[in-house]
Amino acid sequence: MLGKVMKHEWKSVSGVGGLLLCVLLGCTLLGVAYIASPLFGAMMGWNSNNDAGLVMVAGMFGFFGIMIFVLVFSCVTFGMMVYLGIRFCKSMYAEEGYLTQTLPVKSSTLILGKLLVSGIWVLILQIVVFLTIVVLFGTAGIASVQHYSKLDSFGEVLSMISMGIQEMQVAAAEMFRQAGLRVSFLLTLMLATFFLVPFANMMIFFGSFTIGQMFGKHKIVMGFISFFLVQIVLNLLRTILGSIGMVGAVASASIGFTYEFMFAFTLVSNTIFGVGMFFLSNYINKKKLNLN
């Protein structure tokens, strides 16, 4: 049944997800086109023959472009999370809930199916945002290396960038070693955080809407209010527990351990809260469902 729940959930949310992916693709293409155009060179002051007006226009384009990109990148993931939260509330506790909640499916399977699909979508968007940033910075980097090195061959430019990255890796490894950071452990923590936290956050969001539905009226509004209240409680717990751990980490006089603790704590606390919200939501659906 989990596969069927996921199949139909995917169908119902993929329209908005696909639209947001198109927005990201459009932004990437616009950004690359800007960097490839003479405007980018003008903004960077690479051509002394450009008049002041063109440099100013190019600068404005660049400034507002970056502002818009930052806004779009932030809104895409956050907007998708809000959409998925509202969609969850509507399909489980509003009119559509009369169908969803009468399907011969366990409530835990319903919640898990919706959570997996939502988490996957948030993850996809996060990865695409990351790739977009890599592409934009990569394109700008290639253009800069091409300009300053005066190299004509694209292969030579890439080889120069590759050498630069290798040098940076060596320098970073030395810096991490001096700070006492275990690079592979930290990378594992970061990757686990990157992949798990979207699911945990979505579950906290879903759990808040599940608490909100118990109020009977204005379920979506109550869901958001519950979310903010839950966030306050969770942040309070995070601050208390995190402070205790941080004191220990700082006392160890190791910057590496402090960073490792921060990532590990974020990962573990989010996972625990997410799992807790899953069981709470399942309990409410089984014992306190209120489709009134």
Partner 1 sequence: MEDLIVIEGLSKSYDSRFNAINNISIRLPKGKIIGLLGPNGSGKTTLIKMLNGLLQPDTGTIEVNGVPVGVETKSMISYLPDRTYLNEAQKIKDVLEMFRDFYKDFQIDRARMLLTKLGIDENVRMKTLSKGNKEKVQLILVMSRDADLYVLDEPIAGVDPAARDYILRTIIENHNPNASVLISTHLIRDVEEVLDEVIFMHSGQLVLYTTAENVRQKHNKSVDEYFREVFAC
Q: CB under 8 A: which stretch of 5-13, 177-185, 186-194, 275-283 binds partner 1? A: 5-13
- Is 91 or 132 the residue whose CB approaches partner 1 more closely? 91
Residue 5 Ramachandran class (φ > 0 left, ψ -120 to 50 alpha, else beta): alpha
Structure-block tokens of residue 199: 């699911």
- Determine the residue type at 130: F
Nearer to partner 1, 103 or 173 (CB): 103
In the complex, the smallest distance separating the C-beta of residue 214 from partner 1, rounded to whole angstroms, is: 11
CB of 26 to partner 1, least distance (A): 23
The answer to whether residue 292 forms part of the interface with partner 1 (CB under 8 A) is yes
Asked if 290 interacts with partner 1 (CB under 8 A), we say yes
Q: Does 116 bind partner 1 (CB under 8 A)?
A: no
Among 48, 52, 53, 98, which residue sits at the site for partner 1 (rule: CB under 8 A)? 98
Instruction: Tell me the two tokens of residue 247.
Output: 């004191």
Residue 149: Cβ within 10 Å count: 12
Specify the residue, 21 or 96, whose C-beta has the smaller distance to partner 1.
96
Residue 218 engages partner 1 in binding (rule: CB under 8 A): no
Given a contact cutoff of 8 angstroms between Cβ atoms, the answer to whether 208 and 223 are in contact is: yes
> Considering the rule CB under 8 A, would residue 15 count as an interface residue with partner 1?
yes
Query: How far, CA to CA in Å, does 248 sit from each of 33, 189, 234?
Result: 50, 19, 21
Q: What are phi and psi of 51, to 5 degrees?
A: -80, 165
* Count of residues that interact with partner 1, criterion CB under 8 A: 25
Binding of residue 103 to partner 1 (CB under 8 A):
yes
Q: Is 7 an interacting residue with respect to partner 1 (CB under 8 A)?
A: yes
Q: Does 105 bind partner 1 (CB under 8 A)?
A: yes
**CB-based contact 202:115 (threshold 8 Å):** yes
Give the nearest distance from C-beta 283 to partner 1 in angstroms.
Answer: 12
Amino acid occupying residue 276 = G
Position 8 contacts partner 1 (CB under 8 A): yes
Q: Does 10 bind partner 1 (CB under 8 A)?
A: no
Q: b vs e for 7-45, b when ≥16 Cβ sit within 10 Å of the residue's Cβ? A: ebbbeebeeebeebbeebeebbeebbebbeeebbbbbbe
106, 147, 182, 238: residue in contact with partner 1 (rule CB under 8 A): 106
Among 2, 96, 146, 254, interactor with partner 1 by CB under 8 A:
96
Residues 74-93 that bind partner 1 (CB under 8 A): 91
Q: Which long-range contacts (CB under 8 A, 24 or more apart) does 248-252 make?
A: none
Cβ proximity to partner 1, 177 vs 286, nearer residue: 286
The answer to whether the CB of 226 falls within 8 A of the CB of 211 is yes
Please say which residue, 14 or 149, places its beta carbon nearer to partner 1: 14
